[in-house]
């Protein structure tokens, strides 16, 4: 069974630009969560989607948004990029999502903002 895939794996952008990251969950999984990982803050929750509905959102500014499609694939968008947005963005999928369901992570997208 294929794992969670994320594209692209690496991105370099400049301040003020916007970026869209993509996540394809494990086949059959309907919940997709997004996390930001930085050396200083660790892994921080961005948002979670289940059947195209956002069920929870972390403490991030409105520049961070996401969506989920009917085939459970998900995208996240960051507008007006700032230097501090440089991070590893991780997507995780699970059958039904939290609580209690195990989340499986993809390899991440490394975003560098110059």
Partner 1 sequence: EDQVTQSPEALRLQEGESSSLNCSYTVSGLRGLFWYRQDPGKGPEFLFTLYSAGEEKEKERLKATLTKKESFLHITAPKPEDSATYLCAVEGDYKLSFGAGTTVTVRA
Min separation Cβ 39 and partner 1, Å = 10
| Dist. CA 19–CA 99, nearest whole Å | 30
- Residue 86 has which token pair? 């440089």
For partner 1, the binding residue among 19, 26, 48, 85 (CB under 8 A) is: 48
In the bound state with partner 1, the residue whose beta carbon lies nearer, of 32 and 78, is 32
| Other beta carbons less than 10 A from residue 79's beta carbon | 14
- Residue 60 engages partner 1 in binding (rule: CB under 8 A): no
Q: Contact with partner 1 (CB under 8 A): which of 16, 55, 82, 112?
A: 55
The CA-based angle 78-84-90, given to 5 degrees, is: 55
Instruction: Decide if 25 contacts 34 (C-beta within 8 A).
Output: no
Among 2, 62, 71, 100, binds partner 1 (CB under 8 A): 100
- Positive/negative CA dihedral, 27, 91, 107, 102: negative
Binding site for partner 1 (CB under 8 A): 4, 33, 35, 42-45, 48, 50, 55-56, 58, 90, 92, 97-100, 102-108, 110
């Amino acid at each position: 069974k294929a794992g969670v895939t994320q594209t692209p794996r690496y991105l370099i952008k400049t301040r003020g630009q916007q970026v869209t990251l993509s996540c394809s969950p494990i086949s059959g999984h309907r919940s997709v969560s997004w996390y930001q990982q930085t050396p200083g803050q660790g892994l921080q929750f961005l948002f979670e989607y289940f059947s195209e509905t956002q069920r929870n959102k972390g403490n991030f500014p409105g520049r961070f948004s996401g969506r989920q499609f009917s085939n459970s694939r998900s995208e996240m968008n960051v507008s007006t990029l700032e230097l501090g947005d440089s991070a590893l963005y991780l997507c995780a999928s699970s059958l039904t999502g939290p609580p209690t369901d195990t989340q499986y992570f993809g390899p991440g997208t490394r975003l560098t903002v110059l």
